[in-house]
Amino acid sequence: MTQIRLRNTKTRTVEDFTPIDPNNVRMYLCGPTVYDRAHLGNARPVVVFDVLYRLLREIYGADHVTYVRNFTDVDDKINATALARKEAGAEGSLEDLIRERTEETIGWYHADMDALGALRPTVEPRATDYIGAMIAMIEDLIAKGHAYAKDGHVLFRVRSYRNYGALSGRSVDDMIAGARVEVAPFKEDPMDFVLWKPSDDGLPGWDSPWGRGRPGWHIECSAMSEELLWKKPLAEGRLSEDAQKFPHVFDIHGGGIDLQFPHHENEIAQSCCAHSHADGRPGEFARIWIHNEMLQVEGKKMSKSLGNFFTVRDLLDGHDGEPGIPGEVIRFVFLQTHYSKPMDWTAEKARQAEKMLDYLYEAVGDTELDESIEPDSLLVEALSNDLNTKVAFDQLHGAAVAWHIMTDGRDEVARKLKRSANLLGLLAMTRSEWLSSKGGGADLSGLADKLASLRATAMDTKDFAPVDALKAALVAAGVEVRMSKAGVELLPGPGFDASKLEGL
């Protein structure tokens, strides 16, 4: 079996990945807060961990990997959006409007991530479905002295967990000295964070031992990961005896580097304290922590004030007069940079990615995916080496080059290329579908016939001006024109604009 190696943020090393239970590899990724469209930075962890999910399924079997990615559907930003709708005259209670907004946003999220070629996780829990589990965990933390209730709030005692700061490499005192922390009358210590907070009649809330309220953000992921990656598989008999020796522990926890502190640090503290041993020693949580680095746009931090803030949908549909970009192009650009490095989105990278996909799709043609074929071993080896997508891309390109120069055995190369690219979530379409997706479904066959006819006439008359004029107009519309003895082929190219074909 191929050995996977991953960069563990907790140990700051690339280490061998040995699952707790090879028959049930378990991974959790912090998902979106569903109050608006996903922006480009939100999409990077989805694509990164989708590749890891595909690799784990390849190595351990699709039925032996559980991937959980949550939806945070209780949040002050969601409440504010729903309140704004209500004040604008929308019908229904606040709870109805919140549900309507989260349903709408989850639908957008699924459509956008599907367009990027991301597989749906095994489970996509909503925080509001696990309020009971959160309350139970908070009660346990209070009973063990790691949390306290005051004025309708419940706070976690940060100094009760001696390893706090280990993930991010900070000490509690340094954090207080170098950061802005909320000072509130109900806090024993400035670093203590909220597990539960009160809700007034104008906000959503649930009954609890501390009054009507709602959970803090950090407790949500701790409760959902415990329920879905420990309690549920344990109850269903899907954990081996060896795995049961490590209560509440799962294999991989992921997210963007912006979540490392405070969100992931707080998750670790409250989970390890909730799962402490009888002698008081803290328990364990996730074995390996993986964080993807941040995303920039054209060399600058993405910001609305700089005018370089894009949602995924902006790029897919086109914005500010720019044509839409296929989801596979966006995915390709993401994967050209290693997940542990900052990534810079540029229009030029998107153009180059589209050209490379044209080249790859020409090689696979209309070959269908055959999962019985073994993928390229060097590509699998590259991905197993801490998701080295650059080397994996080199293997895809090499296979495509081989196809283009070969005369025999092309079909075998195309099938292997298709199967190997699938591990990266690429070449999911046939070439015909790819060309159609780039052209928005535009049918260029009529124009190809017209150009072929003009060329045939020009061969007799020696007047090639009509041919050159039509070819120039097609190129100006972003059409790639291929003319050979075999005929004329028109392909939507980078910057294709169907509106410029009107009248041709």
Q: Where do the H-state alpha helices sit in 4-75?
A: 40-60
Listed by start position, the domains of the chain span 5-150+157-171+220-292, 297-435, 440-501
Tokens matching residue 387: 């998701």
In this structure, are residues 7 and 340 in contact, taking their beta carbons and an 8 Å threshold? yes
Which residues 6+ apart lie within 8 Å of 295 measured at CB? 40, 41, 44, 302, 342, 343, 344, 345
Instruction: Give the pLDDT of residue 151.
Output: 93
CA 24 → CA 21, 242, 271, 273, distances in Å?
A: 5, 12, 21, 25
Q: Is the preceding omega at residue 262 within 30 degrees of 0, hence cis?
A: yes
Instruction: Give the pLDDT of residue 203.
Output: 84
Question: Known binder of ligand: residue 272?
Answer: no
Question: Known binder of ligand: residue 304?
Answer: yes
Which residues 6+ apart lie within 8 Å of 89 measured at CB? none
Compute the distance between CA of residue 42 and CA of residue 32 in angstroms, rounded to an integer.
8
Residue 389, classed as helix, strand or coil, is: helix
Checking 472-478 for CB contacts under 8 A at 24+ apart, the result is: 473/500, 473/504, 474/447, 474/501, 474/504, 476/500, 477/501, 477/504, 478/323
| Residue 234 CB-density burial (10 A; 0-12 exposed, 13-18 middle, 19+ buried) | middle
Question: Known binder of ligand: residue 273?
Answer: no
The CA-based angle 456-462-463, given to 5 degrees, is 90
In this structure, are residues 127 and 202 in contact, taking their beta carbons and an 8 Å threshold? no
Tokens matching residue 488: 């004329």
Question: pLDDT tens string for the chain (504 positions)?
Answer: 899 999 999 999 999 999 999 999 999 999 999 999 999 999 999 999 999 999 999 999 999 999 999 999 998 888 888 888 888 888 888 788 888 889 999 999 999 999 999 999 999 999 999 999 999 999 999 999 999 999 999 999 999 999 999 999 987 777 665 455 566 888 999 899 999 999 988 788 999 999 999 999 999 999 999 999 999 999 999 999 999 999 999 999 999 999 999 999 999 999 999 999 877 788 999 999 999 999 999 999 998 888 889 999 999 998 888 889 999 999 999 999 999 999 999 999 999 999 999 999 999 999 999 999 999 999 999 999 999 999 999 999 999 999 999 989 999 999 999 999 999 999 999 988 898 887 666 778 889 999 999 999 999 999 999 999 999 999 998 888 988 887 898 888 766 777 788 878
Instruction: Give the pLDDT of residue 424.
Output: 98
| Per-residue pLDDT tens digits for 49-89 | 999 999 999 999 999 999 999 999 998 888 888 888 888 88
Tokens matching residue 474: 């097609």
Distance from the Cα of residue 499 to its chain's centroid? 33
Tokens matching residue 192: 């203590």
Instruction: Give the pLDDT of residue 305.
Output: 82
Compute the distance between CA of residue 149 and CA of residue 155 in angstroms, rounded to an integer.
6
Q: How many CB atoms lie within 10 A of CB 98?
A: 25
Instruction: Give the pLDDT of residue 155.
Output: 98
| CA dihedral of residues 7, 12, 16, 17 (deg, nearest 10) | -60
Compute the distance between CA of residue 275 and CA of residue 250 in angstroms, rounded to an integer.
13
Instruction: Give the pLDDT of residue 480.
Output: 85
Instruction: Give the pLDDT of residue 102.
Output: 93
Which residues 6+ apart lie within 8 Å of 147 measured at CB? 138, 141, 154, 155, 156, 157, 195, 270
| Per-residue pLDDT tens digits for 138-187 | 999 999 999 999 999 999 999 999 999 999 998 777 766 545 556 688 89
Instruction: Give the pLDDT of residue 492.
Output: 80
Q: Which of 455, 376, 458 is nearest to 423 (CA)?
A: 376
Question: Known binder of ligand: residue 267?
Answer: yes
Fold held by 5-150+157-171+220-292: Rossmann fold (3.40.50)
Q: Which of 318, 312, 357, 387 is nearest to 113 (CA)?
A: 312
| Residue 123 CB-density burial (10 A; 0-12 exposed, 13-18 middle, 19+ buried) | middle
CATH of 297-435, one of 1.20.120.160, 1.20.120.640, 3.30.70.980, 2.60.40.1180: 1.20.120.640
Compute the distance between CA of residue 342 and CA of residue 178 in angstroms, rounded to an integer.
24
Distance from the Cα of residue 207 to its chain's centroid? 34
